[in-house]
């Protein structure tokens, strides 16, 4: 992770951190903090605690998102201070709807100049975000009239980080469970880094190709980082999210947490070790294999 961040994240870059609920690239965010990156634009549909931590560390000056919050567990203290009071400095915040962000990634991935959508009709978002605009459709509406439709611009991150369960060494990446816009975020970016729980043999990937969400040709680096999504909702665990609201509400306590758990750990492996085996044993789950599929082959 140290090498990937050093190679692909520079001051002033636009960095996408994508993964929905249980596949949040937390370890990538922490390493960006350790390396002291500054003036970043962070693109993340569901800006949550890792964004709050990067803000507190002084890494982020602009946020592009469609949701901000500590999931269902409370607020993001640092983000609220910056937006509501410019404390300790203001944050530029570009707000879209969830589907608006999906459309931005789709436009970026497909190298389109914009992407149309209907869902902003009646919304206040266009009044606060000049990036949401209207164009006249070149085709008549059902009643023959001329139609104006909302559009959003593409997003082209300098680098996208995603977290996934496994990949082979070439970067063929497999994800199961809840997925989001990982593939679109990868294709929209100039560079892409996949962070995985395990590296597996080519034969494992080929045995179940439909799970391959991101193919190797779209990936620039693979980082092996077990438990790299912690403390996101891996295995249904969210006690830390409930604790974060109180931590982030107090700036001194928040910075103390960063000193101990991010700056005070050399890398994510040290973070994992610091939590201890008893802690991880409490999160352990049993196996639930999905079975095998016979794809057949020519005789």
Per-residue pLDDT tens over the stretch 265-288: 999 999 999 999 998 888 777 777
Q: Which residues of 252-269 are buried (b: 16+ CB within 10 A; e: fewer)?
A: eebeebbeebbeebeebe
Task: For 121-176, write each residue's pLDDT tens digit.
Answer: 889 999 999 999 999 999 999 999 999 999 999 999 999 999 999 999 999 999 98
- 220 vs 19, which has greater pLDDT? 220
Residue 266 CA from chain centroid, whole number: 22
Please state, in angstroms and as integers, the Cα–Cα distance from residue 170 to each residue in 56, 164, 199, 217, 228, following that order. Answer: 35, 14, 10, 8, 20
Locate tokens 């947490």: which residue?
Answer: 257
Residue 280: predicted pLDDT? 85
Confidence of residue 258 (pLDDT cuts 50, 70, 90): very high
Confidence of residue 233 (pLDDT cuts 50, 70, 90): low
* Cα gap 181→168, rounded to integer Å: 21
- DSSP secondary structure of 244-262: HHHHHHSHHHHHHHHIIII
Q: Is 214 helix (H, G, I), strand (E, B) or coil?
A: strand
Q: Are 25 and 161 a contacting pair, CB within 8 Å?
A: yes
* Cα gap 104→185, rounded to integer Å: 9
pTM, two decimal places: 0.90
Q: Are 162 and 195 a contacting pair, CB within 8 Å?
A: yes
Confidence of residue 199 (pLDDT cuts 50, 70, 90): very high
- 235 vs 209, which has greater pLDDT? 209
Calculate the CA dihedral of residues 67, 68, 70, 71 and round it to 10 degrees: -10
């Amino acid at each position: 992770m140290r090498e990937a961040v050093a190679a692909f994240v520079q001051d002033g870059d636009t960095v996408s951190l994508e993964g929905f609920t249980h596949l949040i690239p937390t370890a990538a965010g922490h390493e960006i903090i350790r390396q002291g990156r500054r003036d970043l634009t962070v693109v993340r549909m569901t800006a949550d605690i890792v964004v709050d931590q990067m803000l507190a560390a002084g890494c982020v000056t602009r946020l592009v998102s469609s949701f901000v919050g500590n999931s269902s567990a409370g607020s993001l203290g640092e983000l609220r201070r910056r937006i509501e009071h410019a404390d300790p400095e203001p944050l530029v915040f570009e707000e879209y709807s969830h589907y608006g962000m999906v459309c931005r990634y789709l436009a970026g991935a497909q190298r389109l100049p914009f992407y149309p959508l209907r869902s902003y009709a009646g919304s206040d978002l266009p009044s606060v975000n000049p990036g949401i605009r209207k164009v006249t459709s070149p085709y008549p509406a059902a009643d023959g009239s001329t139609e104006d439709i909302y559009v959003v611009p593409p997003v082209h991150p300098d680098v996208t980080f995603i977290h996934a369960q496994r990949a082979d060494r070439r970067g063929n990446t497999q994800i199961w469970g809840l997925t989001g816009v990982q593939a679109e975020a990868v294709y929209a970016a100039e560079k892409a880094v996949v962070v995985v729980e395990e590296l597996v043999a080519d034969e494992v990937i080929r045995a179940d190709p439909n799970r391959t969400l991101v193919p190797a040709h779209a990936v620039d680096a693979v980082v092996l980082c077990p438990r790299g999504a912690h403390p996101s909702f891996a295995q249904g665990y969210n006690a830390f999210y409930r604790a974060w609201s109180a931590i982030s509400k107090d700036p001194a306590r928040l910075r103390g947490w960063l000193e101990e758990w991010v700056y005070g750990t050399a890398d994510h492996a040290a973070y994992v070790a610091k939590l201890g085996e008893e802690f991880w044993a409490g999160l352990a789950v049993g196996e639930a294999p999905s079975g095998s599929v016979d794809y057949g082959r020519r005789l």
